[in-house]
Structure formats: structure tokens, C-alpha cells
């Protein structure tokens, strides 16, 4: 998991979202949909998941899932993920569902990411645990600043401060990192297996750099490691931790 840097200006396709949210706020104020029941708010997927929105997210994330860093295009269409769930929330497994969700953030650029279906639909879903559940924002006027989310925000936080790799298995460096791994499923078997294959290639290439008798092959090994460790590469966080374990810096690969 690496930090996501999105363009400052949101895609124009999100513009209608302000009016759509205002309608929801008006409905709630008028008692049409108070949010106290389990009746969810209705959202326009054609706005928050517009092709231009997804394209902008894919470009900012180098076609990688914001959570697992797996390349998406070759295997699935990917999802526009709401970091703070729009419809409903849960503190954790077996916890009660809380309605409404963060409906006023449904079309907010800062709340949108690109995620693979395993991380989004199977892992994170509507989970959004807080350090103090009572501080959960329920209205647009409530403060998000006091919430203390237990999940790492891919753009507001530096994920590398919370999740690192010793091998191909992610290790939480903080309580938030451990909770993100658990909720999203960043240590699921299939993902670990895929990362393991990738890790072994990186490990062998790194060892080759230390063999003086293979001096003629060092340039090729460096070029490959530079590609594997760049921000556009799949599992780049794991790759850079592997290289660090071998004492190899990015400067040495240039």
C-alpha cells in the first residue's frame, strides 16, 4: 500500500453531486428519509462512477488497487471505492449496521478511490471502524476531524508509516495498520501467494547485484529492479522493503 496522489481538481463529471447531496440533505431535514431507519439513501452511480472519474483514479493510482497494489486492468474492471462508506457503516464483523452512512461524501473527490473487487467487495465493504465509535459523524455538519478512523486513508495518510513488509506478508506498524490489514484482507491467502512469487524474483535479482563475478549482468538486474520498485509497479511497497533488507537504495539503481 502506497500513498495515492490525486489531481487537485476533481473530474467535471462529479459536479452534479453537489445538487444530489443537497436533495438528500433536504429530504432528511423534511423527515422524508431521516436515516434513523434501515431505508438507504439513493445514489447516482452514473456520477461517482462515471467513466471519466474511474479513468482519473486509475491514472492517479497507476492502474493499481489503492489497498493491495495489485494491477487491476488485466483481471477485472475495478470499483470506485468510497473510503467512508456512503450507504451504511459497521464498526467491525458481527457489529450492527449503522444508517445512514456518509451520504454527503458520496460524490466527494477526496473520498473516492480505485479498488479491486476483492479488497472492496469482499474485504472492506461497509466497514469503517473508529477509535471512539461515539464520535462517528452522522450529519454533514458533524466534524470528521474528531473521528479517528482505524483504517489507513490511501491519500491523507502515508501508508508506509502503518504497513511494511518483512517478506511478502504485510505487517502492521501501528494499530491502524493492523486493522487495515485485517479489515481489507491484505494478508489473504491468494494475495500472499501472488506477492510471494513476485518477492522471490526481487530477492534473487537483489542477490545477483552482490555477486562480483556477474558484473556484466548487474546493469540488467538494476534496470529490472528499478522497474519493479517504481510507483507504477505492482506491489512496489513490498519490493522496496525487500530491497531495503538487502541494503539496496533507489539511488544505487539509477
Asked which of 91, 121, 151 is the last residue of a domain, the reply is 151
Could you tell me if 181 and 187 are in contact, meaning their C-beta atoms sit under 8 angstroms apart? yes
Could you tell me if 176 and 215 are in contact, meaning their C-beta atoms sit under 8 angstroms apart? no
Which position has the grid cell 504497513?
A: 163
Burial per residue of 228-246, b for 16 or more beta-carbon CB atoms within 10 angstroms, e otherwise: bbeeebbbbbbbbbbbeee
pLDDT for position 77:
80
Could you tell me if 201 and 141 are in contact, meaning their C-beta atoms sit under 8 angstroms apart? no
Residue range 128-149: mean pLDDT, rounded: 94
**Residues 197 and 142 placed together within one structural domain of the fold:** no
* Residue 126, Cβ density class (10 Å: 0-12 exposed, 13-18 middle, ≥19 buried): middle
From 52, 51, 57, 50, select the one nearest 72 (Cα to Cα): 57
Domain contains 18: yes
Domain contains 75: yes
pLDDT for position 75:
66
Q: What percent of the chain has pLDDT over 90?
A: 73
CA distance 144 to 139: 10
pLDDT of 29 strictly over 90 = no
Domain contains 38: yes
Q: For the whole model, what pTM was predicted?
A: 0.91
**Residues 35 and 122 placed together within one structural domain of the fold:** yes
Asked which of 103, 131, 151 is the last residue of a domain, the reply is 151
pLDDT for position 37:
55
In terms of residue numbers, what domain contains 120?
12-151
Domain contains 83: yes
**Residues 20 and 121 placed together within one structural domain of the fold:** yes
Domain contains 175: no
**Residues 88 and 141 placed together within one structural domain of the fold:** yes
Amino acid at each position: 500500500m502506497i500513498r495515492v496522489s490525486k489531481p487537485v481538481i476533481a473530474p467535471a463529471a462529479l459536479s452534479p453531486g453537489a445538487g444530489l447531496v443537497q436533495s438528500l440533505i433536504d429530504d432528511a431535514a423534511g423527515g422524508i428519509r431521516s436515516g434513523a431507519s434501515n431505508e438507504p439513501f439513493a445514489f447516482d452511480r452514473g456520477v461517482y462512477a462515471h467513466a471519466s472519474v474511474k479513468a482519473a483514479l486509475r491514472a492517479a493510482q497507476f492502474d493499481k488497487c489503492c489497498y493491495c497494489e495489485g494491477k487491476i486492468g488485466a483481471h477485472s474492471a475495478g470499483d470506485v471505492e468510497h473510503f467512508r462508506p456512503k450507504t451504511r457503516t459497521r464498526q467491525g464483523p458481527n457489529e450492527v449496521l449503522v444508517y445512514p452512512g456518509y451520504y454527503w461524501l458520496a460524490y466527494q473527490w477526496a473520498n473516492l478511490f480505485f479498488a479491486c473487487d476483492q479488497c472492496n467487495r469482499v474485504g472492506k465493504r461497509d466497514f469503517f471502524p473508529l477509535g471512539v465509535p461515539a464520535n462517528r459523524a452522522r450529519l454533514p455538519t458533524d466534524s470528521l476531524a474528531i473521528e479517528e478512523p482505524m483504517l489507513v486513508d490511501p491519500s491523507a495518510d502515508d501508508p508506509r508509516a502503518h504497513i511494511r513488509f518483512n517478506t511478502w506478508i504485510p505487517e502492521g506498524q501501528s494499530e491502524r495498520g493492523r486493522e487495515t490489514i485485517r479489515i481489507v484482507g491484505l494478508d489473504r491467502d491468494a494475495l500472499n501467494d501472488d506477492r510471494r512469487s513476485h518477492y522471490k524474483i526481487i530477492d534473487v535479482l537483489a542477490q545477483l547485484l552482490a555477486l562480483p563475478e556477474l558484473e556484466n549482468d548487474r546493469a540488467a538486474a538494476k534496470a529490472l529492479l528499478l522497474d519493479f520498485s517504481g510507483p507504477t509497479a505492482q506491489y512496489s511497497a513490498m519490493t522496496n522493503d525487500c530491497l531495503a533488507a538487502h541494503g539496496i537504495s533507489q539511488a544505487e539503481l539509477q
